[in-house]
């Protein structure tokens, strides 16, 4: 386990709830990219696979938690994009 990896994931982990709340409050998907969310998810999946195969430690929990938060944010993004397309 690297302390720097832990700090990085903790910082990202603190940013995602803020982003989720911003999305919920604004109720819009404008200026947001589903491709960006997908790239971030692929990155977290890669980190999870690496931890499972080569370096199983507690940091795996942070990867999984961040993956879930990005997934929630992506689901909100899809929801608001569809809602905007429907009502425009």
The C-alpha atoms of residue 26 and residue 85 are separated, in whole angstroms, by 16
The token pair at 69 is 């938060």
Q: What is the pLDDT of residue 48?
A: 97
The C-alpha atoms of residue 52 and residue 79 are separated, in whole angstroms, by 32
Alpha carbon distances (Å) from 78 to 15, 19, 25, 42, 73: 20, 15, 15, 17, 9
Sequence spans of domains, the chain: 57-88
Give per-residue pLDDT as tens, 27-81: 998 888 999 999 999 999 999 999 999 999 999 999 999 999 999 999 999 999 9
């Amino acid at each position: 386990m690297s302390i720097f990896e832990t700090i990085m994931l903790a910082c990202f982990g603190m940013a995602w709830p803020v982003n989720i709340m911003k999305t919920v409050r604004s109720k819009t998907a404008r200026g947001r990219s589903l491709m960006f969310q997908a790239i971030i998810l692929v990155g977290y999946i890669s980190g999870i696979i690496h931890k499972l195969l080569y370096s199983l430690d507690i940091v795996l929990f942070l990867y999984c938690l961040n993956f879930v938060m990005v997934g929630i944010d992506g689901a909100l993004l899809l929801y608001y994009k569809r809602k905007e397309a429907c009502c425009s």
